[in-house]
Amino acid sequence: MSLESAPTAKLGEKLILPAFLAAGCIAFYLAFIGPDVVQAETAFIDFGYLNMCLLFGTFVWCCIPLLQEKQGFWKNRDFLVLASCALLGAFFLYTREGGGFKVSFDEEVLSNVAQNLANEHIPVMRESSLQGLASFEMIDKRPLLFPFLVSILHSVFGFRIENAFYLNFALTFVYLYLLASITKKVHSTSASYFTLFLACMMPILGQNASSGGFDILNMTIALGVAWFAIDYKQNPNAATMARLLFGTALVAHIRYESSILGVPVIILIASEWIRSKRITLSPSILLIPFTYMPVIWQLRAISANPENFQYKTDGAGTFSIAYVAENLQRAYKFFFIPSDSYAGSPFVAFIGFAGLLALIGKLASSKTPLIRTSDTRKAILIMSLYPLLHFAMIMSFYYGQFDDPIVTRLSIPIVTLLVACGGGLLASLFRRNGKLRVAVSIALVCCGVYGTRVYSSHEYSSTSEIAKRSEWALEFADSLPVGNYLFVTTMPRIFELHGLNNLSTVKARGVLKKIKNHLDLKTYNAVFILQNLKLERKDGELIETALPYNDLGPAVTLETIKEISFTPHNFCRISRIAAIDISADVPAAKQVTTAEETAQIRRVSPEEIRKWQKSLP
Q: What is the Rg, in whole angstroms, of the alpha carbon atoms belonging to the chain? A: 27
Q: What's the pLDDT score for residue 425?
A: 95
Q: Which residues of 573-597 are buried (b: 16+ CB within 10 A; e: fewer)?
A: bbbebeebeeeebeeeeeeeeeeee
Distance of CA 309 to the CA centre of its chain: 17
- Please report which confidence band the pLDDT of residue 595 belongs to, taking 50, 70 and 90 as the band edges: very low
HSE-up of 494 (CA within 13 Å, CB side)? Answer: 24
Residue 330 φ then ψ, to 5°: -70, -35
Residue 564's region, left for phi above 0, alpha for psi from -120 to 50, else beta, is beta
Task: Give the mean model confidence (pLDDT) for residues 36-62.
Answer: 93
Averaged confidence pLDDT in the chain: 87
pTM metric for this prediction: 0.88
Which of 116, 122, 129 lies closest to 45, judged by CA?
Answer: 122
- For the residues of 83-123, what is the DSSP string, one character each? HHHHHHHHHHHHHTT-S--SSTTHHHHHHHHHHHHHHH---
Which of helix, strand or coil describes residue 571? strand
- Please report which confidence band the pLDDT of residue 597 belongs to, taking 50, 70 and 90 as the band edges: very low
The 8-class DSSP code of residue 461 comes to: G
- Please report which confidence band the pLDDT of residue 337 belongs to, taking 50, 70 and 90 as the band edges: very high
CA pair distance 413, 220, nearest whole angstrom: 10
Q: Minimum mean pLDDT among 111-120, 125-134, 224-233, 245-254: which range?
A: 125-134
The 8-class DSSP code of residue 75 comes to: G
CA pair distance 288, 388, nearest whole angstrom: 25
Q: Please give the single-letter amino acid code of residue 403.
A: D
Q: pLDDT tens across 433-456, in order?
A: 788 999 999 999 999 999 999 988
Burial of 213 (0-12, 13-18, 19+ CB in 10 A): buried
Q: What's the pLDDT score for residue 575?
A: 94
Q: What's the pLDDT score for residue 298?
A: 92
Q: pLDDT tens across 79-99, in order?
A: 899 999 999 999 999 999 888
- Please report which confidence band the pLDDT of residue 5 belongs to, taking 50, 70 and 90 as the band edges: very low
CB contact at 8 A, 423 and 187: yes
Which of 563, 586, 576, 575 lies closest to 509, judged by CA?
Answer: 586
Task: Give the mean model confidence (pLDDT) for residues 242-252.
Answer: 95
Which position has the higher pLDDT, 104 or 51?
51
CB proximity list for 364: less than 8 A, separation 6 or greater? none
Burial of 400 (0-12, 13-18, 19+ CB in 10 A): buried
CB contact at 8 A, 108 and 212: yes
The 8-class DSSP code of residue 319 comes to: B
- Please report which confidence band the pLDDT of residue 199 belongs to, taking 50, 70 and 90 as the band edges: very high
> Does residue 603 surpass a pLDDT of 60?
no
Q: How far is CA 161 from CA 112, 181, 212, 310, 497, in A?
A: 9, 32, 9, 26, 8
